[in-house]
Amino acid sequence: MKAVIYTRYGEPDVLRLADVPTPVPGDREVLIRVRAAEATKSDCEFRSFRYSVKWFWLPLRIAVGVSRPRRRILGGYFAGEVVSVGARVTRFAPGDQVYGSAGLRLGGYGEYVALSERAAIAPKPRNMTFDEAAAVPLGGLNALHFMRRAAIRPGEQVLILGAGGSIGAHAVQLANSMGAQVTAVDHGIKESLVRRLGAGDFIDYTTDDVTTAGRRFDVIFDMVPASPYRRLIGMLNPGGRYLNGNPRLSVLVRSVLTTRFTDKTVTVAFAPETTEALATLTELIEADKIRSIVDRVYPMSEAADAHRRVETEQRLGAVVITIGEP
Ligand SMILES: NC(=O)c1ccc[n+]([C@@H]2O[C@H](COP(=O)([O-])OP(=O)(O)OC[C@H]3O[C@@H](n4cnc5c(N)ncnc54)[C@H](OP(=O)(O)O)[C@@H]3O)[C@@H](O)[C@H]2O)c1
């Protein structure tokens, strides 16, 4: 099969199209013909091995390959079609259109991927193309996890930092669907996008500092590395919740103290990705409560350009790679 592979860490040019063996599904695995994969910030970070949050650099490097990547095919999030199933698979059948997460196994940049039937895979929303569906699982699963943990009540004031990114854009829609008043913070070029997704207020972080605006919030969801922790906690109303999906080591330590000794709650976590959460996203999408925003679609042969587009941060929505023949 064709796959976009990389055999060393580096700039986008390390990505190239190659012929590789097609995976063979085990007894409890499904073989999926991938039709589209999101080119995510996480894929770019795996490729370059440059992380703005440093504390997990060493454990992650040991896990993914010290001198070169152990898994040559990137792509954590995809949409496609089941083509065959292992003898003991009960949840899927050939012909099922699905979308989901390959987790740390990755592989979505290849024409076929073999995954456990217990992986976070679910039927693709009926009202989405493969390209649109591939743009959902990363942002949707992470945002749903944090918005549920935030236990948002209708009418609450919610601040989202990094609101125009893959995760933030889904968080804006989910918070809005839960009845929150959403204030979004991101680069000014994303203002009209996040307002269309449901943000009532917008702050451009390149020109204004949200922490000096004198505003108070019930929930702050922060996907930005190196945010000013103390000032953000100070902006919470009594009983407020701060959720950080991209925490530095110091935030991990301080989160315990804040939760223990104040009336505020801090949640720092890596979101688990579950089939149940994905099925919930499918329902929300089919009920038109959330939608996917695709910035550009690239063919496999231009995967390096897709990564450049993600890294230059000019995108409005998700960057998607079409896998296989269009
Ligand atoms: N906790 C978890 O489970 C989990 C899961 C997946 C990913 N992550 C991590 O979370 C991070 C975000 O993921 P993502 O895919 O949503 O990234 P993304 O699509 O790149 O979104 C990040 C957004 O934040 C904006 N931003 C940058 N600095 C900002 C600031 N000071 N204030 C407000 N907004 C700012 C960026 O805008 P610009 O265009 O100006 O840069 C961009 O729109 C990644 O580093 C990823 O590795 C965590």
Residue pLDDT, tens place only, 118-129: 999 999 999 999
Distance 137 CA to ligand 1 centre (A): 15
Q: Is residue 177 a contact partner of residue 197, using CB atoms and an 8 Å limit?
A: no
Q: How confident is the model at residue 244 (pLDDT cuts 50, 70, 90)?
A: very high
Q: How far is the CA of 162 from the centre of ligand 1 (A)?
A: 5
Instruction: Say how many Å lie between the CA of residue 247 and the centre of ligand 1.
Output: 12
Q: What pLDDT score was predicted for residue 59?
A: 81
The per-residue pLDDT for range 200-242, each reduced to its tens digit, is 999 999 999 999 989 999 999 999 988 999 999 999 999 999 9
- 2-136+292-322 and 138-268: identical CATH topology: no
What pLDDT score was predicted for residue 65?
Answer: 85
Percent of residues, the chain, with pLDDT higher than 70: 99
Q: What is the 245 CA–ligand 1 centroid distance (Å)?
A: 9
Sorted by where each begins, the domain ranges of the chain are: 2-136+292-322, 138-268
Cα–Cα distance measured from residue 94 to residue 113, given in angstroms and rounded to the nearest whole number: 14
Check whether 53 has a pLDDT greater than 80.
no
Spatial contact of 295 and 319, defined as CB atoms under 8 Å apart: yes
CA-CA distance, 223 to 319, in Å (whole number)? 18
Residue 51 pLDDT: 78
Q: Which tokens hold the place of 23?
A: 């995976």
pLDDT of residue 58: 81
- 138-268 CATH: 3.40.50.720
Q: Which of 49, 136, 209, 223 to mutate to test the pocket of ligand 1 (most atoms within 8 A of CB)?
A: 223
Q: Which of 51, 56, 146, 167 to mutate to test the pocket of ligand 1 (most atoms within 8 A of CB)?
A: 167
Q: What angle do CA 6, 10, 14 make, to 5 degrees?
A: 40
What does the pLDDT average to over 287-301? 95
- Tens digits of per-residue pLDDT, 184-196? 999 999 999 999 9
Closest C-alpha to ligand 1, atom 43: 165
Secondary structure of residue 293 in the 3-state scheme: coil
- In CATH terms, 2-136+292-322 corresponds, of 3.90.180.10, 3.40.50.300, 1.10.287.610, 3.40.50.620, to 3.90.180.10
